[in-house]
Amino acid sequence: MELDDLKARWQKETKENLNTNKQSMEQLQAILKEKTSGTLINIREKYKGIISYLMVGLLLNIIISPFLHFLLGDDGPVFRLTFSGLLSLVFLLTIGLLVVLFYWLRFSSFSTEVSDVDLHTALIEKITSLKRSFKQEIIFIAAVFLAIFIIGRASSQYLGHGDFGDIYRKDILLAIGAGLAILIFYISRRAKAYNKDIGTLKSYLAEFEGNNEQ
């Protein structure tokens, strides 16, 4: 097969493909509608999952705490909405909603980003955007971790369960260790995902720039 044959085959194939697959304006509109609602459903499903986990966590907290008091020899398995309990629930809920809001905003902005610049510029823009996004996510998660720690210590002092700086206790050190382990695990997973995407785009860019040098 010669290059001219290739061109002829392409053009023949293109014509036939268009004849077979030509969509009417109504069909195009239907595809657009389905795709738009499909994207929204995907976003909704993703966040429904996160919010469900948060709700289950809060519910377990509410259900388990009276039994814990009972097991610890307190007043028995009665539901007691103490001030400290309420404070921790509200705090947990606020942090949870902040995390959901953060990912919601990021995900929706990602799904609306469309670049109609040339391909070279689009690749560079996308790599920069992914790097920025990764940085923002890491800063946000680290800030949440730090905020939980600071507010936890502050509320502990406020409620008379120990001084703010009194962290060299077995239980607190254990909590910090567990929190740090989760933080490192999460960051490493996100870094892996971002690096994979950035690496793929960089390889495309390298193909482009490498070819340009020839």
Partner 1 sequence: MKEEFLKAISEHQGIILKVCRIYCSDNLEAEDLFQDILLALWKAWPSYKGNSKIGTWMYRVGLNIAITRLRKNSRTIKQDELSSAHHSFPATESGRLDIQFDKELQEAISTLSQFDKGLLMLYLDERSYKEMAEILGLSESNVGVKINRIKKILKQKINP
Interaction of residue 207 with partner 1, rule CB under 8 A: yes
Instruction: Tell me the closest approach of the beta carbon of residue 213 to partner 1, in angstroms.
Output: 10
Distances in Å between the Cα of 186 and the Cα atoms of 69, 157, 192 are: 32, 29, 10
Candidate segments 5-13, 43-51, 101-109, 137-145, binder of partner 1 by CB under 8 A = 5-13
Looking at 45, 75, 118, 171, which residue binds partner 1 (CB under 8 A)?
A: 118
Helix (H) or strand (E) run with residue 50 in it:
helix 25-71
Candidate segments 67-75, 81-89, 174-182, 200-208, binder of partner 1 by CB under 8 A = 200-208
- Beta-carbon contacts of residue 175 (< 8 Å; ≥ 6 apart): none
Query: CA-to-CA distance for 82 and 196, rounded, in angstroms?
Result: 47
Q: Which amino acid appears at position 154 of this protein?
A: A
Q: How many residues contact partner 1, by CB under 8 A? A: 50
Interaction of residue 43 with partner 1, rule CB under 8 A: no
Instruction: Tell me the closest approach of the beta carbon of residue 214 to partner 1, in angstroms.
Output: 6
**CB-nearer residue toward partner 1: 148 or 201:** 201
Interaction of residue 170 with partner 1, rule CB under 8 A: no
Interaction of residue 6 with partner 1, rule CB under 8 A: yes
Q: DSSP labels for 160-207?
A: TSS-TT---SHHHHHHHHHHHHHHHHHHHHHHHHHHHHHHHHHHHHHH
Interaction of residue 212 with partner 1, rule CB under 8 A: yes
Query: CA-to-CA distance for 179 and 96, rounded, in angstroms?
Result: 15
Interaction of residue 22 with partner 1, rule CB under 8 A: yes
Contact 205, 127 (CB under 8 A): yes
* Residues that bind partner 1 in the complex, under the rule CB under 8 A: 1-3, 6-7, 9-11, 13-14, 16-18, 20-25, 27-32, 34-36, 39, 112, 114-123, 126, 197, 200-201, 204, 207-208, 211-212, 214
